[in-house]
Amino acid sequence: MNHLLTGKPEEIRALLDSVDTFLFDCDGVIWHGDNLIPNVAHVLERLREMGKRILFVSNNSTKSRRQYLKKFTQLNIEAYVNEVFGSAYAAAYYIKHNLELPDNKKVYIVGMSGIQEELDAEGIKHCGSSDDNENLTDMSEMSTIKNDPDVGAVLFGFDLDLNYKKLAKAFTYLQNPETHFLATNTDLTFPTKNAVYPGTGALLAALSTPLGRKPLVMGKPEQRMLDVIVDKYHLDRSRTCMVGDRLDTDILFGQNGGMKTLLVLTGVTPAAGLDEQEIKADFVIDSLGHLL
Amino acid sequence: MNHLLTGKPEEIRALLDSVDTFLFDCDGVIWHGDNLIPNVAHVLERLREMGKRILFVSNNSTKSRRQYLKKFTQLNIEAYVNEVFGSAYAAAYYIKHNLELPDNKKVYIVGMSGIQEELDAEGIKHCGSSDDNENLTDMSEMSTIKNDPDVGAVLFGFDLDLNYKKLAKAFTYLQNPETHFLATNTDLTFPTKNAVYPGTGALLAALSTPLGRKPLVMGKPEQRMLDVIVDKYHLDRSRTCMVGDRLDTDILFGQNGGMKTLLVLTGVTPAAGLDEQEIKADFVIDSLGHLL
């Protein structure tokens, strides 16, 4: 549809009247790296005053909700742990409530402290991650790789400290078809201010390609994270609006989830050529800061 | 065809009379890990006495020819540097003779010392590899990644010390479509005595997947390594026999190269079900040790 919001009071009122909950992607919507997008804090405040529920939904798997909250605090944005949904938390919630992993089984983590923290918070046993940051020093050490017979699932997220030992262990666990295979997200790239680097989905390919197995994916555009959110907050999907800067993750996520969608042009999607894109948002606005 | 050699003098003589050069895969054919396959040293010696040329052709990219030769010496097998073709050497030869990389340009290596050594021997400038074994320690360091403007090619091989910094640098270089992209081999797995681990092709997927680019591949079953060998030794392909234990690399490599093929059953291919396999060898023998 790509209805461009021009700021007329009646079209904004129509949108606000039809929505109880806004889900916000963060990078490119709320902030750019360490810089808050102008007037966004004010818009969020106004939405709260109107009684709208606000949730922040990010594919970033490196941070726990608590770690994520620090960023909001640093940028002086009002936010609460319970409003923040990272893919690390979604994975922990999913493992606890949906996976039926026996109590004595552990999750082998390829990923960073955010995942460890979220699994700890849900009482899920785990290993890997920082335990295996020290790599093998020699090919002959491969034979010393020890696998833990209690591992029943592998959870893969972005890991700056990815090394061969972690890949080899995860690969060995996953050769057993009974070992669950989960990934926080499959973003192929990790855009930064200066350059684009490989993302979780890129690193994951080193495991899924030789295995010929695909993981259960938590992050956008997959629906598992939304299912977790809806389950936890009993949301009415038809009265929920997903706000994001990416068509192929945020907007697709919203559409597939039966939500309204609002595309902002402060992130990776340019205004030019929007009508030629296959994925269309219900509404488009140049910046979230201009919504009200 | 899968003609099973039973050791009758006339069939062995027919094979020997039609072949001047034997190309041998090593692991599973000459040795298993650190154990020589019985009687193989004797067979190789006899072939030399008959005036046959012997070459060893391996996809292993971790070793230079010189490093590889040590293994032959340790196992008491006669061999010479000039007879050993690893994929690291094939890559160095290919870059020097076929790639037309300007003299001032460097090769960024994701790989180990064998590749560095072979590029040095051919006088090819390079960076990466052990220079980048020290990874980024923090996400914020991503912005400190410095790329060398003189890099004109990325060469990817097996790297036990693969880390995010190397992937990020290689990814950045290869976003420039003018940067050549080469890989020593694409074996998805690395079989060891006790377990199967991710191979070069698995690690490579972390780069080729987000790039949407495929590298020029040196190793079997691709023909570039054979082209290098034929070019260097002026071989008559029709009078050359590829001896290997893998149908989908060694035997396919031989067939596609217009060579005779001899499958040995001392490696990964079992005798059972050979006739149902799509790829068939000209000749099959239970062990190279039983050839003569």
Render pLDDT for A219-246 as a digit per residue (tens, 0 to 9).
999 999 999 899 889 999 999 999 999 9
- Interface contact A254, partner B, CB < 8 A: no
The CATH number assigned to the domain holding A270 equals: 3.40.50.1000
The domain boundary residue, chosen from A217, A246, A276: A217
Same domain, B119 and B155: yes
- Please report the pLDDT score of residue B1 as a whole number: 66
- Please report the pLDDT score of residue B142 as a whole number: 84
Q: At what angle do helices B113-121 and B87-98 cross, to 10 degrees?
A: 40
Q: Which residues of B touch A199 (CB under 8 A)?
A: 210
Among residues A187, A174, A170, A77, which one has the least CA distance to residue A128? A170
- In single-letter form, the type of residue at position A13 comes to R
Same domain, A148 and A242: no
Q: For residue range A185-226, list pLDDT tens digits in order.
A: 999 998 887 789 999 999 999 999 999 999 999 999 999 999
- Please report the pLDDT score of residue A292 as a whole number: 87
Nearest residue of B to residue A193, measured between CA atoms? B143
Distance in Å, alpha carbon of B182 to nearest chain A alpha carbon:
17
- Interface contact A197, partner B, CB < 8 A: yes
Give residues with Cβ within 8 angstroms of A153, minimum separation 6. Answer: A95, A99, A101, A105, A106, A107, A108, A179, A180, A181, A182
- Please report the pLDDT score of residue B145 as a whole number: 87
Number of domains forming the structure of chain A: 2
- Please report the pLDDT score of residue B14 as a whole number: 87
Distance in Å, alpha carbon of B21 to nearest chain A alpha carbon:
32
- In single-letter form, the type of residue at position A186 comes to T
Q: Provide, rounded to the nearest whole percent, the portion of chain A with pLDDT above 70.
A: 99
- Interface contact B197, partner A, CB < 8 A: yes
CA dihedral angle for residue A229, residue A233, residue A237, residue A239, rounded to 10 degrees: -130
- Please report the pLDDT score of residue B100 as a whole number: 84
| Number of other CB atoms surrounding residue A231 within 10 Å | 13
Same domain, A114 and A149: yes
A162/B163 touch (CB, cutoff 8 Å), yes or no: yes
B80 domain-assigned: no
CA distance A257 to A248: 13
Same domain, A184 and A230: no
Distance in Å, alpha carbon of B197 to nearest chain A alpha carbon:
5
Q: Mark which residues 202-231 of B lie under 8 Å from A by CB.
A: 202-203, 205-210
Same domain, B129 and B205: yes
CA distance A41 to A283: 20
Among residues A147, A145, A23, A173, which one has the least CA distance to residue A85? A23
Same domain, A34 and A133: no
Collapsing DSSP to helix, strand or coil, A37 comes out as coil
Choose among B193, B195, B205: nearest Cβ to A209.
Answer: B205
pLDDT-based confidence at residue A7 (cuts at 50, 70, 90) = low
B70 domain-assigned: no
A209/B201 touch (CB, cutoff 8 Å), yes or no: yes
A162 domain-assigned: yes
Q: For residue range A251-275, list pLDDT tens digits in order.
A: 999 999 999 999 999 998 998 888 8
B143 domain-assigned: yes
H/E element holding B3? strand B3-4
Same domain, A263 and A282: yes
Give residues with Cβ within 8 angstroms of A219, minimum separation 6. Answer: A59, A61, A87, A90, A183, A184, A185, A186, A187, A225, A249
CA distance B243 to B5: 13
- Can you say which residues of B are annotated as belonging to the binding site for substrate? 58-60, 220
Same domain, B200 and B125: yes
Q: Is B161 considered catalytic here?
A: no
Distance in Å, alpha carbon of A250 to nearest chain B alpha carbon:
19
Same domain, A204 and A265: no
Q: For residue range A41-88, list pLDDT tens digits in order.
A: 999 999 999 999 999 999 999 999 999 999 999 999 999 999 999 999
What are the catalytic residues of A?
A: 25, 27
Q: Mark which residues 147-166 of A lie under 8 Å from B by CB.
A: 159-164
B164/A162 touch (CB, cutoff 8 Å), yes or no: yes
HSE, side-chain direction, 13 A CA sphere, residue B5: 26
pLDDT-based confidence at residue A132 (cuts at 50, 70, 90) = very high
Catalytic residue, candidates B17, B20, B27, B187: B27
DSSP letters, B13-41, are HHHHHT-SEEEE--BTTTEETTEEPTTHH
Q: How far is CA A223 from CA A56, A93, A237, B71, in A?
A: 15, 14, 12, 53
A143/B188 touch (CB, cutoff 8 Å), yes or no: no
Choose among B164, B175, B196: nearest Cβ to A160.
Answer: B164
- Please report the pLDDT score of residue A138 as a whole number: 86
CA distance B11 to B290: 13
ipTM over 0.95: no
A188/B209 touch (CB, cutoff 8 Å), yes or no: yes
- Interface contact B135, partner A, CB < 8 A: yes
B164 domain-assigned: yes
CA distance A143 to A125: 26
Q: Is the peptide bond before A221 cis (omega within 30 degrees of 0)?
A: yes
CA distance B114 to B217: 17
Same domain, A201 and A272: no
Same domain, A115 and A193: yes
B27 domain-assigned: yes
A107 domain-assigned: yes
Same domain, B196 and B258: no
Torsion B214-B216-B220-B223 (CA) sign: positive
Q: Which residues of A touch B189 (CB under 8 A)?
A: 210
**Across chain B, what does the average pLDDT equal?**
93
The domain boundary residue, chosen from B217, B236, B257: B217
The domain boundary residue, chosen from B195, B217, B239: B217
Q: How far is CA B63 from CA A165, B66, B71, B88, B198, in A?
A: 20, 8, 10, 7, 18
CA distance A283 to A290: 13
B283 domain-assigned: yes
Which alpha helices (H) appear in chain B, and where do they start and end? 9-17, 40-49, 65-74, 87-98, 113-121, 164-174, 200-211, 224-233, 252-256
Can you list the residues of chain B whose pLDDT is less than 70? 1, 7
Domain that holds residue A191: 101-217
CA distance A23 to A229: 10
